[in-house]
A and B are shown apart, each in its own frame.
Chain A
């Protein structure tokens, strides 16, 4: 089984880095969608099935908090696990993201292993045996 991933970040560079790390992690990614803010993310979600969302918080037009609120209003979308990837430093704001339905968060800067670990935690791939039987992956990354 493969998963569709949606990366939401106003930085094109960061979207590329996240996509690259997911690709080389052995995670079974089918399609990777990108959005520059929450509004664009909702447009993607209206058209395509997404299994996991990785979203920044500070974005123009619609930020990550508002995106989480919008997802919670929809019976189908609210079940999609969201990982917040952010430079946000405040514990209060991170707790706010969790209260709004985020399943986990990771602070920039992060190591590839951190991203892989949180992705596996929220989607449960290790437990369900979906992850990397043929990848030969040992959890380390080669660049």
Chain B
């Protein structure tokens, strides 16, 4: 199993765990590639393996995550809540991912960034995309390795 395959396999476990424990949302892998995600949170990682993780969210699942995590009603959610919550989500998913990948190694994670209207969803030779579905909406993950 090469590095990307191992990361993909663990990513599936990590994202399920984070969404279930922190957001009370149960994801399922999806074969359908969604192209209309509304927001994304990204993080860079550096260590024995380096690269980036982008997590893409439909607006409905982003709102469900915030409602479930913070106990807010839909009309109480601010833009800052959305950004803060989704950045924390990508941070938790990646921390969990690399703890399972190799906890004996040190991986440095960047400060997450937040973007509305994600672009460039195509994948290349060093990137891999995973899509997930749930009752609350859709989530996509794009993993890129730089070395």
B137 in the interface, Cβ–Cβ < 8 Å? no
B71 in the interface, Cβ–Cβ < 8 Å? yes
- Encode contact with B along A79-115: 1 for CB under 8 Å, 0 otherwise: 0000000111111110000000000000111110000
CB distance from A141 to the nearest CB of B (A): 12
Choose among B69, B85, B95 the residue that contacts A107 (Cβ–Cβ < 8 A). B95
CA distance A16 to B81 in the complex (A): 11
Total CB contacts across the A-B interface at under 8 A: 70
CB distance from B113 to the nearest CB of A (A): 13
Choose among A17, A86, A109 the residue that contacts B70 (Cβ–Cβ < 8 A). A17
Interface residues on B, range: 20 to 34
A12 contacts B84, C-beta separation under 8 Å: yes
CA distance A107 to B103 in the complex (A): 12
B95 contacts A92, C-beta separation under 8 Å: no
Smallest Cβ-Cβ distance to B22: which chain A residue = A109
Q: Which of B27-35, B104-112, B114-122, B125-133 contacts A (4 or more CB under 8 A)?
A: B104-112
Smallest Cβ-Cβ distance to B101: which chain A residue = A89
B84 contacts A89, C-beta separation under 8 Å: no
A108 contacts B92, C-beta separation under 8 Å: yes
Given contacts A109-B21, A110-B21, A111-B21, contact A89 B111 (CB under 8 A): no
| B88: chain A residues within 8 A (beta carbon) | 11, 13-14
| B46: chain A residues within 8 A (beta carbon) | none
The 5 lowest CB-CB distance pairs between A and B, nearest first, are A87-B95, A89-B99, A109-B21, A89-B98, A109-B22
Residues of A within 8 A of B (CB): 11-14, 16-17, 20, 58, 60, 86-93, 107-111, 143
User: What are 29 A-to-B residue pairs whose CB atoms are below 8 Å?
Assistant: A11-B84, A12-B80, A13-B69, A13-B70, A16-B70, A17-B22, A20-B71, A60-B111, A86-B95, A87-B94, A87-B96, A88-B95, A89-B99, A89-B103, A89-B107, A90-B99, A90-B103, A90-B104, A90-B105, A90-B107, A91-B103, A92-B104, A93-B106, A107-B96, A108-B18, A109-B17, A109-B22, A109-B96, A111-B21
